[in-house]
């Protein structure tokens, strides 16, 4: 979806403020991994979009394209990619645009770009463009209305116009405004500003833009002050005016980083309040890949609450333009959403409304992608799971501790720690894990909980949500056989079980699809975003069993007895999916009472 459409859509609600984040490509592999973890946490607060910068001179071109793709398709946030003219002939520009278009991205921030490293002035690349206006014209002429095009605005004029005295001459400022309008006239539909710290200058800039006929939204770019030296360096590079009162506040605390951050948060809040008081309901935060100050500013403005993260669906809704209608998924990947997206990225159609023919989707082959965990999580996984194991009971203990929240990682989950709804039933989970039913996925029964519930709610306020109790676990063949006998006495229980070799046991048909989560909202059809079906379960089982080996056993040295024990369990146990279809009076844990 185009960012401009999101901003225009929000204008109908005078109390809604649109906020967004900017990130840049880190220089190291660890930095990229950590950025995705941080981005994932920040996106949980529902920004309208996030953007990723294009390195000076195109130095991070490939990495920017990769990060943009993962932002849009794995993190599932509306993504805007910067694109500059520096060192970019037309064929490279078109390669970048074709790449993001193919990845379902619809938003570009068109920039001239800074001079390459080591050069003082921008020089047009042979076969390239001289300025951002030419880039905007090219995007519009070749791609029509597919892309939403954003451009940069400079409240104090472009740094090239600002003199040594820190001021832009009136004629230079007016020429810069006229050029900005020419970019809008060429096809840009949104302006995001350069950082500033004098809100009066920004408000004057907006008024001056309106006076010359620029009518598109103008989004203020706010850069929180995180440390004094970085602040001085950035404002010096951008030739940004620093009001005297800000310098007076910073000078006594410049060597106290925490005090500087606290002041930066306070200043960011006050700047945004003043801007919003003038009717501007958008804010773009230059995060510098740091989350705390940006989120603290939003919390100080009352735009987010740390403990209340709303969900439009039980899983994060996709932003890829090709799969935006998707609103049904199998529950098996609830804790591995990135894996699910990776394995379905090649689908031509995505299930929506009703699951339909479960045999139609063709899941992508199991690849190493699902097991390429961020390095930071690798270290925690080793710490928590690569412990000496002397008996099968030691394996039970790992699962038990995770269900109690005493471990943060799990070889079967991409997520960090327990989900809020899991905590409702974690004592029950502890008991069955102690008995050798090793749970990797679950949900409690819910009968008409309000849809804005902080633990199980989704879909926004004004509705009611329901879900059947669900358990997914590994267990021995002996325990499975006993469990199947007990299920015969409980007609509301349906199960599927399969081992590594594909031996199948079930009391449901191969074409059956069971909705296990649904919601009722005003003036809408029933929404059923989560289902259980045999075809998806069969596709999931390979990944689930592989996690015993590549997710856990591989953490140990080759000849370690603990590794052998983990591999033996993975090769002999069954994976079981169990649904209690009586969401009103059911007792899914009762079936385990006599074990």
What span, in angstroms and rounded, lies between the C-alpha atoms of 381 and 36? 17
Evaluate whether 184 touches 223 at the Cβ level (below 8 Å): no
3-state helix vs strand vs coil in the chain, percent to 5: 40, 15, 40
C-alpha triplet 485, 571, 367: angle, nearest 5°: 115
371: DSSP letter? G
What span, in angstroms and rounded, lies between the C-alpha atoms of 162 and 173? 9
Active site residues: 22
By CB neighbour count within 10 A (0-12 exposed, 13-18 middle, 19+ buried), where does 163 fall? Answer: exposed
As a three-state string, the secondary structure of 47-80 is CCEEEECCCHHHCCHHHHHHHHHHHHHHHCCCEE
- Taking residue 453's Cβ as centre, other Cβ atoms within 10 Å add up to 14
Lay out the sheet containing 464-467: strands in order across.
329-330, 527-532, 514-520, 464-467, 446-450
- Largest Cα separation within the chain, whole Å, is 86
Please tell me whether residue 317 adopts helix, strand or coil conformation: coil
What span, in angstroms and rounded, lies between the C-alpha atoms of 571 and 416? 26
- Sign, Cα dihedral of 425, 428, 429, 430: positive
Nearest to 3 by CA among 174, 166, 125, 151: 151
Beta-bridge mates of residue 473: 439, 576
């Amino acid at each position: 979806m185009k960012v401009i459409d999101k901003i225009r859509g929000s204008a109908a609600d005078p109390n809604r403020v649109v906020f967004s984040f900017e990130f840049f490509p880190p220089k190291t592999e660890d930095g990229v991994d950590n950025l995705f973890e941080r981005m994932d946490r920040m996106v949980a607060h529902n920004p309208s979009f996030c953007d990723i910068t294009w390195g000076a001179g195109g130095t991070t071109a490939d990495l920017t394209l990769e990060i943009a793709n993962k932002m849009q398709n794995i993190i599932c946030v509306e993504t805007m990619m910067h694109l500059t003219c520096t060192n970019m002939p037309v064929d490279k520009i078109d390669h970048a645009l074709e790449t993001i278009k193919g990845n379902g991205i619809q938003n570009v921030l068109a920039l001239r770009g800074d001079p390459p490293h080591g050069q003082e002035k921008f020089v047009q690349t042979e076969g390239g463009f001289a300025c951002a206006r030419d880039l905007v014209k090219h995007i519009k002429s070749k791609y029509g209305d597919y892309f939403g095009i954003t451009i940069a605005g400079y409240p104090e004029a472009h740094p090239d116009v600002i003199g040594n005295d820190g001021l832009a001459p009136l004629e230079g400022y007016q020429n810069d405004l006229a050029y900005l309008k020419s970019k809008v006239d060429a096809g840009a539909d949104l302006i995001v500003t350069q950082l500033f710290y004098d809100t009066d200058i920004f408000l004057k800039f907006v008024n001056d833009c309106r006076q010359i006929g620029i009518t598109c939204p103008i989004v203020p770019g706010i850069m929180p002050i995180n440390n004094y030296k970085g602040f001085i360096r950035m404002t010096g590079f951008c030739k940004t005016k620093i009001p005297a009162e800000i310098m007076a506040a910073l000078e006594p605390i410049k060597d106290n980083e925490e005090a500087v951050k606290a002041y930066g948060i306070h200043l960011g809040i006050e700047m945004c309040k003043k801007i919003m008081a003038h009717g501007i309901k958008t804010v773009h935060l230059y995060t510098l890949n740091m989350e705390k100050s940006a989120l603290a500013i939003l919390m100080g403005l009352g735009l987010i609450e740390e403990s209340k993260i709303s969900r439009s669906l039980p899983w994060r809704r996709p932003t890829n333009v090709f799969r935006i209608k998707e609103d049904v998924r199998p529950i098996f990947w609830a804790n591995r959403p990135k894996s699910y997206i990776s394995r379905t990225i090649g689908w031509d159609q995505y299930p929506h409304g009703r699951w339909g023919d479960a045999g139609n989707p063709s899941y992508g082959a199991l690849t190493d992608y699902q097991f390429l965990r961020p390095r930071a999580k690798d270290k925690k996984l080793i710490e928590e799971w690569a412990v000496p194991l002397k008996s099968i009971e030691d394996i039970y203990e790992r699962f038990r501790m995770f269900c109690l929240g005493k471990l943060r990682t799990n070889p079967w989950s991409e997520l960090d720690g327990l989900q809020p709804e899991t905590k409702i039933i974690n004592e029950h989970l502890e008991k069955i894990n102690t008995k050798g039913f090793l749970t990797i996925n679950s949900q409690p029964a819910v009968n008409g909980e309000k849809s804005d519930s902080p633990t199980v709610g989704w879909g926004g306020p004004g509705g009611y949500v329901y879900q059947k109790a669900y358990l997914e676990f590994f267990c021995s063949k002996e325990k499975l056989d006993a469990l199947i006998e007990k299920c015969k006495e409980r007609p509301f229980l349906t199960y599927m079980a399969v081992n590594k070799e594909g031996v199948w046991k079930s009391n449901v048909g191969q074409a059956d699809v069971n909705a296990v989560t649904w919601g009722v909202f005003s003036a809408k059809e029933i929404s059923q975003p989560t289902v259980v079906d045999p075809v998806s379960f069969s596709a999931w089982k390979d990944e689930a069993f592989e996690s015993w080996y590549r997710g856990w056993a591989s953490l140990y040295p080759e000849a370690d007895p603990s590794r052998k024990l983990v591999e033996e369990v993975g090769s002999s146990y069954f994976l079981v999916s169990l649904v209690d279809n009586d969401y009103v009076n059911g007792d899914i844990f009762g079936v385990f009472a006599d074990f």
